[in-house]
């Protein structure tokens, strides 16, 4: 609407600041009304006592009214005092970040101060990094937050907010691009310094913290009951000022954006394109590359450096990103840090905590891994662990079947071979339910196929489904294998469901057993993490106190909530069919590595990859899905024969 400079920008900035101040006053009026309601009974009591002294309100009725109002005023004042204390003392939520001392990033602090001077706004109190593709100002003036803040520059304003910068920006963006992206964010410190806006923000953050007080662990029943009452009052007040607070923040953002238009406007347009590219690459890196390592108990120690490789690969593949990698010759923003490696390691560990729920400190079951070691330490180990789990489940199913009289000992004795897995998942093409005349032919075909190695599929598949018995005959073998009663009903009434019946009974049973085993392993992992978190947290607090008393410059520390559960899970729980496909793929990769010229590799955008002859095998997934979903082993067998993999050979497991 307004230009880059001139009166349009000034008018827009003034409009945003005035709108923010008016909304801040509306929030403070809500606080004033609440205070007025709290002192109203006391004021009535004062009037009644004054009337009694002057002789206007005399008699037994007025005396009783004075006593009742006095007791009510005392109770209301006590309740209001309790609410005010909780709102004032409650610790507001803080984003988990890696704090940066000025000694760890003097050039970055200098860049931010110069930017604040150009914008004619106060400089942020400190700088922190977060493993996310975003940047913002965060109010950390609460005393609990100030205790965790790493010392910044001398003479910095205690009331100024903290500048939180997304760590991927530092490694992917150039210095000029980072300055252009941070300009509208830093410009927000101007409106934030206004007393009314600062007071309104403190009030809203205090209410938000008070709402969460009832959930604080360790409260006795009496204190918890009082906390619920305080939380209810805070919730009512928060609901009353929520709209005004949102409009206030919009006004602050509008004022900062208008003010920042005069600084590197052209560069900022180009930098915004880099923000979108960085977000895409960072998401792929976390979900495809880092997540498999986290599930193995390893965390990549250089995620921010890896995002450069991921984005470079994305630029090479995506024509829309063509030319972005040519910027890599310019000075990266991470050069503004004194020790980029240490900061990258701290943010990588924080990313594992936020997105996976890993421990706060490295340990025997939670160790870092370098990118050069990723194929051997993560990819190969992941494949062999999944293959071992798959054969463990097959052994369990075989024991259960043999105990039931199924006689599946042969399948269990095959050892950890790919042939055993293929045979178990292979199925016959389903015949129409009304083709009773073909029952004998099906039995004869099954008997003839027992002469081939794929015969193990019938020995293991039948007991797993739990539906075929010695007395079962006809096409009931095919229809009863599915546990869905609706399909059985459709078969009896003669409806052709061949096109809809895609469930592999053996795969269903195997997927269910895998899901149960993985759920038990995950529960055990969370219990171990929860046990170590308490010890690590106590040790970290004592170390922080020692560093503060000694006066030494502390290393990058992490502030914010802690715990064994991820705050932002990357993926929803996977289905049993997806888990089975992953495990079968891992088994195929293990066989390829052990019996053919294949090696584990890393694809920056797709994660673990199988390299055959130095090239990534991209056609394996559909063939595995054909086996898992349809019970058709032929596409996979063709791929194995072409690649030179010997499925009958046992593979090495962990």
Q: Which two tokens stand for residue 80?
A: 């209001």
Say what the pLDDT of residue 91 is: 83
Closest CA to 270 of 319, 323, 308, 309: 323
Q: Rounded to an integer, what distance in angstroms lies between the CA atom of residue 628 and that of residue 622?
A: 10
Q: Rounded to an integer, what distance in angstroms lies between the CA atom of residue 186 and that of residue 126?
A: 12
Q: Which two tokens stand for residue 281?
A: 């690459």
Q: Which two tokens stand for residue 591?
A: 């066989």
Q: What residues does 367 pair with on adjacent strands?
A: 298
Q: Rounded to an integer, what distance in angstroms lies between the CA atom of residue 421 and that of residue 411?
A: 9
pLDDT band for position 200 (cuts 50, 70, 90) = very high
pLDDT band for position 545 (cuts 50, 70, 90) = low
Does the pLDDT value for residue 180 go beyond 60?
Answer: yes
> pLDDT tens digits, residue range 219-252?
888 888 888 999 999 999 999 999 999 999 999 9
Say what the pLDDT of residue 503 is: 61
> pLDDT tens digits, residue range 379-393?
999 999 999 999 999
Alpha-carbon distances of 481 from 66, 408, 420, 454, 631, rounded to whole Å: 82, 17, 21, 19, 13
Does the pLDDT value for residue 8 go beyond 60?
Answer: no
Q: Rounded to an integer, what distance in angstroms lies between the CA atom of residue 401 and that of residue 420?
A: 16
Does the pLDDT value for residue 20 go beyond 60?
Answer: yes
> pLDDT tens digits, residue range 486-538?
333 333 333 333 344 546 788 888 888 888 888 888 788 777 766 665 565 55
Does the pLDDT value for residue 179 go beyond 70?
Answer: yes
Q: Rounded to an integer, what distance in angstroms lies between the CA atom of residue 321 and that of residue 276?
A: 10
Q: Which residues contact 18 (CB under 8 A, 6 or more apart)?
A: 251
Burial (0-12, 13-18, 19+ Cβ within 10 Å), 152: buried
Contact predicate 593/558, CB 8 Å? no
How would you classify the pairing of strands 126-130 and 162-166? parallel
Does the pLDDT value for residue 463 go beyond 60?
Answer: no
Q: Rounded to an integer, what distance in angstroms lies between the CA atom of residue 196 and that of residue 204?
A: 12
Q: Rounded to an integer, what distance in angstroms lies between the CA atom of residue 253 and that of residue 393?
A: 56
> pLDDT tens digits, residue range 358-379?
777 888 888 999 999 999 999 9
Closest CA to 569 of 358, 355, 357, 359: 355
The percent of residues above 90 in pLDDT, for the chain, comes to 43
Average pLDDT of span 86-103: 88
User: How far does Cα 243 stand from its chain's mean position?
Assistant: 28
């Amino acid at each position: 609407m307004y230009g880059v400079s001139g009166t349009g920008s000034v008018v827009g900035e003034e409009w945003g600041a005035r709108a923010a101040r008016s909304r801040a006053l509306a929030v403070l009026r809500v606080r004033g009304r609440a205070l007025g309601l709290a002192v109203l009974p006391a004021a009535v009591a004062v009037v009644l006592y004054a009337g009694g002294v002057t002789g206007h309100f005399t008699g037994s009725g007025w005396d009783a009214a004075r006593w009742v109002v006095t007791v009510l005023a005392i109770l209301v004042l006590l309740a209001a005092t309790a609410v005010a204390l909780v709102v004032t003392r409650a610790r507001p939520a803080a984003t988990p970040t890696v704090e940066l001392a000025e000694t760890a990033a003097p050039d970055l602090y200098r860049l931010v101060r110069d930017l604040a001077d150009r914008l004619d706004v106060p400089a942020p109190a400190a700088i922190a990094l977060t493993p996310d593709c975003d940047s913002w100002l965060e109010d950390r003036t609460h005393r609990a937050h100030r205790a965790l803040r790493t010392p910044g520059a001398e003479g910095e304003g205690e009331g100024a907010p903290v500048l939180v910068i997304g760590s991927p920006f530092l490694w992917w963006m150039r210095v000029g691009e980072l300055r252009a992206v941070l300009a509208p964010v830093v410009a927000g410190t101007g409106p934030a310094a206004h007393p009314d806006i600062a007071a309104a923000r403190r009030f809203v953050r205090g209410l938000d913290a008070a709402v969460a007080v009832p959930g604080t662990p360790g409260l006795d029943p009496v204190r918890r009951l009082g906390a619920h009452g305080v939380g209810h009052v805070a919730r009512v007040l928060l609901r009353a000022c929520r709209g005004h607070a949102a409009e206030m923040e919009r006004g602050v953002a509008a004022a900062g954006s208008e003010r920042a238009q005069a600084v590197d406007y052209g560069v900022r347009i180009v930098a915004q394109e880099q923000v979108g590219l960085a977000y895409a690459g960072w998401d792929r890196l976390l979900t495809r590359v880092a997540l498999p390592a986290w599930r193995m108990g390893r965390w990549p120690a250089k995620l921010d450096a890896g995002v450069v490789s991921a984005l470079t690969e994305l630029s090479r593949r995506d024509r829309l990103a063509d030319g972005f990698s040519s910027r890599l010759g310019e000075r990266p923003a991470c050069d503004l840090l004194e020790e980029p490696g240490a900061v990258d390691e701290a943010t990588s560990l924080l990313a594992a905590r936020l997105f996976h729920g890993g421990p706060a400190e490295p340990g025997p079951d939670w160790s870092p891994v370098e990118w050069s070691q990723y194929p051997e330490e993560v990819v190969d180990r992941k494949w062999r662990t999944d293959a071992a789990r798959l054969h463990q489940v097959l052994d369990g199913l075989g024991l259960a079947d043999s105990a039931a009289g199924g006689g599946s000992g042969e399948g269990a004795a095959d050892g950890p071979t790919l042939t055993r897995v293929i045979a178990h998942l292979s199925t016959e093409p389903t015949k129409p339910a009304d083709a009773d005349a073909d029952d004998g032919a099906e039995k004869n075909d099954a008997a003839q196929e027992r002469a081939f190695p794929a015969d193990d599929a019938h020995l293991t598949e039948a007991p797993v489904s739990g539906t075929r018995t010695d007395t079962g005959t006809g096409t009931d073998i095919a229809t009863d294998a599915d546990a869905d009663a609706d399909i059985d009903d459709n078969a009896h009434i003669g409806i052709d469901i061949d096109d809809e019946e895609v469930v592999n009974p053996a795969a269903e049973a195997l997927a269910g057993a895998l899901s149960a085993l993985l759920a038990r392993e995950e529960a055990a992992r969370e219990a171990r993490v929860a046990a170590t978190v308490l010890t690590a947290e106590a040790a970290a607090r004592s170390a922080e106190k020692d560093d503060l008393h000694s006066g030494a410059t502390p290393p990058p520390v992490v502030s914010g909530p802690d715990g064994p559960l991820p705050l932002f899970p990357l993926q929803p729980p996977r289905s049993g069919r997806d888990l089975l496909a992953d495990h079968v793929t891992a088994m195929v990769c293990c066989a390829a590595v052990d019996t053919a010229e294949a090696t584990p590799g890393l694809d920056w955008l797709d994660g673990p990859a199988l390299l055959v002859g130095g090239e990534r095998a991209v056609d394996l997934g559909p063939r595995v899905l054909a086996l898992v979903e349809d019970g058709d082993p032929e596409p996979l067998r063709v791929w194995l024969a072409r690649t030179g993999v010997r499925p009958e050979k046992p593979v090495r497991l962990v």
